[in-house]
Amino acid sequence: MIKHYTEGLLFYDRGQERRIVAYDVSLTNAQVRADGLGLLPIHFYITLDNFLTVGKCRLLWRHRDDIGVAFERWIDIPQRIANDQAGAGNCGGHRHR
């Protein structure tokens, strides 16, 4: 668990994003502050390491600009890119020469 604060980015569909400060971060949840948060969907994404990993989040609670989030799953972006690139040359199991 990260007890000190860490900065990150909260984002969701239609290109909406907010800079955040996250506290008490664990693999399953975190407390987050985002100044001027406004409307927020129930599901969104957070990255705390400049998009090396992205957490798919669910809103647990909110009090003004402070929110509690549950990380539903983590997406390993470099691994996903490598998997996509490895599969790019494979069209239905046929090799190209």
pTM over 0.85: no
**pLDDT tens, per residue, the chain with 97 residues:** 656 899 999 999 878 999 999 999 999 999 999 999 989 999 999 999 999 999 999 999 999 999 999 999 999 877 777 888 888 765 554 444 4
Q: Is 95 a domain residue?
A: no
The backbone region for 82, taken as left when phi is positive above 0, alpha when psi lies in -120 to 50, beta otherwise, is alpha
Q: How many structural domains compose the chain?
A: 1
Does any domain span residue 94?
no
pLDDT value of position 21: 97
pLDDT recorded at residue 67: 98
**Which residue segment(s) compose the domain that 29 sits in?**
6-88
* pLDDT score for 82: 80
- Beta-carbon contacts of residue 11 (< 8 Å; ≥ 6 apart): 17, 18, 44, 45, 46, 47
